[in-house]
Amino acid sequence: MKMTSRGRLASIFYWIGVSMTLASIALVLLGNTKLIATVQHTSFPLAWKSAIVAVLAFLAGEICHSASSSFNREPEHDSRRSLEHTPYEI
């Protein structure tokens, strides 16, 4: 089964969200080191920026995923006739 372009896009957004979440956690943990403290701004920290990007990426991934799954939706299974196909040894 081939993935649609929206499915691939949803996957890309998901992994962007995962990486930005990990980056946000790393920035919080390493915030007091000399390397990270030189680029941190006290009014709007880098960890918050990466967390916002992660949330937006997860939302965009969910939107793409729901749009791609609505195109690939199979017809619902009719459960009224499901007992006709089951064996008698239940």
* Domain locations along the chain: 5-69
Cα–Cα nearest to 17, from 45, 44, 50, 48? 50
Please state, as a whole number, how many other Cβ atoms lie within 10 Å of the Cβ of residue 29.
11
Expressed in angstroms, the distance from the first to the final Cα of the chain is 34
What would the pLDDT profile of 24-79 be if each residue is shown by its tens digit?
Answer: 999 999 888 888 888 887 788 899 999 999 999 999 999 887 765 555 555 566 56
What is the structure's pLDDT at 12?
Answer: 92
> In the predicted model, is pLDDT for residue 1 greater than 50?
no
What is the structure's pLDDT at 36?
Answer: 84
| Distance in angstroms (rounded) separating the CA atoms of residues 25 and 76 | 42
DSSP code per residue over 5-58: HHHHHHHHHHHHHHHHHHHHHHHHHTTTSHHHHTT--SSS-HHHHHHHHHHHHH
What is the structure's pLDDT at 75?
Answer: 57
